């Protein structure tokens, strides 16, 4: 499975060009306001946009990367100050 993350401090975001291509590929009407962080990180259209546009898909303060993980892993995106990673889900208590 492929998952999109941001690998620099700042936060996950798409450029205007990246968001427009995503909306076109995902058949999202232009009048619908869509924010990059609302898109599931393993969305096939999102992955395709990042792989096609490379750095042209990156939003302000973003450096997007696609990482591959095993299909059978229950995963989540973690971050520190906007710099993200993919981790296997596990139980947590506080």
Q: How many CB atoms sit inside 10 A of residue 6's CB? A: 25
CB burial string 30-69: b at 16+ within 10 A, e below: eeeeeebeebebbbebbbbbbeebeeebbbeebebeeeee
Residue-wise pLDDT for 32-73, tens only, equals: 999 999 999 999 999 999 999 999 999 999 999 999 999 999
The CA-CA-CA angle for residues 9, 7, 36, to 5°, reads 85
pLDDT at 69: 97
Separation of alpha carbons 43 and 22, rounded Å: 10
Share of the chain above pLDDT 70, in %: 100
Domains of the chain by residue range: 2-88
């Amino acid at each position: 499975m492929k998952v999109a993350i941001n690998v620099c401090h700042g936060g996950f975001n798409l450029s205007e060009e990246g968001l427009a291509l995503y909306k076109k590929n995902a058949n999202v009407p232009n009048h619908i306001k869509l924010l990059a962080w609302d898109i599931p990180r393993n969305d096939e259209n999102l992955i395709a946009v990042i792989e096609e546009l490379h750095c042209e898909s990156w939003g302000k303060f973003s450096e997007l990367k696609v990482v591959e993980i095993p299909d059978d892993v229950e995963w989540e995106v973690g971050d520190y100050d906007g710099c993200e990673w993919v981790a296997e889900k596990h139980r947590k208590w506080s």
